[in-house]
Amino acid sequence: MSSPVESSYTYEDYKKTADWLMATIEQKPKVAIICGSGLGGLADLLQNKTVLSYKEIPDFPQSTVHGHAGQLVFGELNGKFCVCMQGRFHFYEGYSCSKVTYPVRVFSLLGVETLIVTNAAGGLNSTFKVGDIMLIKDHINFPGMAGQSPLRGPNEERFGLRFPCMSDAYDQDLLRLAKQTAEKENCVLQEGVYCMVGGPTYETVAECRLLRTLGADAVGMSTVPEVVVARHCRLRVLGLSIITNMVVSDYNCTNHANHEEVLEAIERRAKDLQKLVSNLVSQI
């Protein structure tokens, strides 16, 4: 009996989807943007758009989370051809890691060179406040440490190496460019370590204390699998989080995290993030 493996897709599966997209769209994007919860407005900035529902695209997963529209938007952002994912996929939705990251492999076959990932995250760093935008400088991959990696199984050499390095997961040049762009806009950025947990529950008090001790500044339920696959495919990566709530780390606290609060916090800072990403893309 063969041993179970994570990936249920072949190189030809990814290529089939990429070939369908290349036959359907005129633009060939160099930048891909994954829009987190409530951040789909980034795609509205694109000009000369082509919008494709995930349901139209061969083998594409379907997004089930409120705040995720479930469509790819191709177009120009400040003169650069881009593709935006309005809605990502999550491990907690029941998808395998290979399915969560399916679009990233397709993007690499389309010729994408840079991936920008955005998300909503809970603040662990006590100096952060709700509404802060955090540049992700590194991550802690709890599902990956437990064996839930999108790279588990036979390696596909046409994408990348068997053992890709993650010490440079977030591109230093893009981090510097983001800081410079934010400074010109008088937009204050935080910088920190993003920790991915499986979800869909928010963290316990003990878990939050543990994550702080480990050096995490923000926590969420997405992003890291896509980053891992992007680096495996040799894409440059920039990550941005909006701090939508401060985690509960005191047993006497009466606050409770909820998804509605997350979406409300995003709405307050979404335009600032959109402006930052738009101006950043023009310089890539």
Per residue in 210-257, pLDDT (tens digit) is 999 999 999 999 999 999 999 999 999 999 999 998 998 888 887 777
Looking at residue 1, its pLDDT comes to 38
Say whether 245 is catalytic. Answer: yes
Q: Residue 109 pLDDT > 70, yes or no? A: yes
How far apart, in whole angstroms, are the C-alpha atoms of residue 14 and residue 246? Answer: 38
Say whether 241 is catalytic. Answer: no
DSSP helix/strand/coil, 17: helix
Say whether 68 is catalytic. Answer: yes
Q: Residue 104 pLDDT > 90, yes or no? A: yes
Q: With bands split at pLDDT 50, 70 and 90, how would you rate the model's confidence at 65?
A: low
Domains of the chain: 24-281 (3.40.50.1580)
Which position among 76, 78, 207, 259 bears the catalytic label? 259
Residue with tokens 């089939």: 16
Over residues 1-17, mean pLDDT? 75
Q: Residue 2 pLDDT > 70, yes or no? A: no
Looking at residue 4, its pLDDT comes to 47
- Look at residues 179, 174, 8 and name the one whose alpha carbon lies nearest to residue 99: 8
Tell me the pTM.
0.93
Residue with tokens 């339920």: 221
* Percent of the chain with pLDDT strictly greater than 90: 75
Say whether 22 is catalytic. Answer: no
Say whether 90 is catalytic. Answer: yes
Say whether 18 is catalytic. Answer: no
DSSP for residue 263: H
Report the sign of the C-alpha dihedral through residues 187, 71, 68, 240, in that order: negative
Over residues 58-81, mean pLDDT? 84
Cβ atoms 117, 227 nearer than 8 A: yes
DSSP helix/strand/coil, 266: helix
Over residues 95-101, mean pLDDT? 93
Which position among 120, 169, 216, 246 bears the catalytic label? 120
Mean per-residue pLDDT over the chain, rounded: 91
Residue with tokens 């437990």: 146
Q: 133-141 and 47-53: which strand pairing?
A: unpaired
Q: With bands split at pLDDT 50, 70 and 90, how would you rate the model's confidence at 67?
A: low
Say whether 279 is catalytic. Answer: no
Dump pLDDT digits (tens) for 181-198. 999 999 999 999 999 999
Dump pLDDT digits (tens) for 118-177. 999 999 999 999 999 999 999 999 999 999 999 999 999 999 999 999 999 999 999 999
Cβ atoms 31, 114 nearer than 8 A: yes
Over residues 62-84, mean pLDDT? 85
